[in-house]
Structure 1
């Protein structure tokens, strides 16, 4: 599956799973129709991430779900992941592309038009844009107040590669992110912390498909 077909994207974080394993959360998300999973787990050592990655690779391959690894190109290669996702302080996109080759998926976190254009020029296949809304996740803590769907729209207008919104996204506020031009949304706690991760994934997908009504086009309605 190509990033252009992603709608729901799970970023793993065991500390938010209410005692459940990351593999269990991933399995439930897959059952709910998730399109991509990013192995993050930065609080664990490389060996633990590798072993978890092998387990996730097996289940995602069977389900036709893309698996990318946050930052660690070596783990991505070792588990035969579909690619990697890098941030502004990680290895450059161009380096990841050179090391992984033309067929790997390489994603990059951006929050400005300039970063987005540079990532595209360097060979990124998609962008993770955010934090869209306020968030307490360490992954996007540099934008706790959120850049808003308006910035997402600016970035989608500036690049030709797919944009995935991330940061504080729920089934209640995902619609405006899709309306801004994002092909999908990436979430951590919305699925990981949910009582029913499968149902949460399905609700998120449904929210992305539902049209968002602005005040202007609801005037005159009962």
Structure 2
């Protein structure tokens, strides 16, 4: 399995966002510590997902950054991504592992110890845990679990945990202390005036 970076950038493909520009700014700073999760809006076509993911895989390769595709595992396979990430409404974890193969990176969303243990048993490489803090990036999310929720999951499993939801550089130390291996961000970079600077701040917080 490819090494897992500590900073996960989830693409923001809402109108007015520029995910490719954000990635170009972040890659020279984070390099191999960056994992890109290509996540599309629900109404996006598979062709649109394929075209974006294909370009992102090509951008990541020179920096040895990892590129994953969320939800649409057939697109992940089509663009030769390093793997994928699935949530509660996607394929079951064991089925996703079967689709991607034994060597691919498979991320799974979890927010409690029971779900986390089941995901790891099904073949998860890492867990996306949250939302840790309130966020307006995605509608319909459950209540934030906070660092204490991350700690509860960390004590139950032995795979890397990626904390997500309202993550900022200032919040990274508490999440790391709770057991998070890394963090995932959407708005922190997609809405930043200077994505490269914010990337540097997040990397410094993750690696100090």
Query: TM (normalized to structure 2)?
Result: 0.93
- Counterpart in 1 of 2:26? 29
Q: CA deviation at 1:171?
A: 1.1
Conserved 8 A contact 2:161-2:180: yes
Measure how far apart 1:20 and its partner are.
Answer: 5.0
Per the alignment, residue 38 of structure 1 pairs with 37
SS of residue in 2 equivalent to 1:114 = helix
Q: How does 1:34-183 map to 2 (within 5 A)?
A: 34-42=33-41, 43-138=43-138, 141-143=140-142, 145-183=143-181
Runs of 4+ in 1 over 4 A off after TM superposition: none
Q: Unaligned stretches of 5+ in structure 1?
A: 211-222
Q: Give the conservation status (yes or no) of the 8 Å contact 2:12–2:18.
A: no
* 2:183 alignment partner, one of 178, 182, 185: 185
The structure with the largest alpha-carbon Rg is: 1
8 Å CA contact 2:13, 2:39 repeated in 1: no
Is 1:203 aligned with 2:201?
A: yes
Unaligned segments of structure 2, at least 5 residues: none
RMSD: 1.4
Q: CA deviation at 1:142?
A: 2.1
Q: Give the equivalent residue in structure 2 for 1:194.
A: 192
TM-score (normalizing by structure 1): 0.88
- The residue aligned with 1:10 is 9
Shift of residue 21, structure 1, vs aligned partner: 2.4
Per-residue deviation at 1:89?
1.2
Number of equivalent positions = 204
Structure 1 residues 137-189: Cα deviation after superposition (integer angstroms, max 9, x where no partner): 227x422x410000101111100111000000111211100111111000000
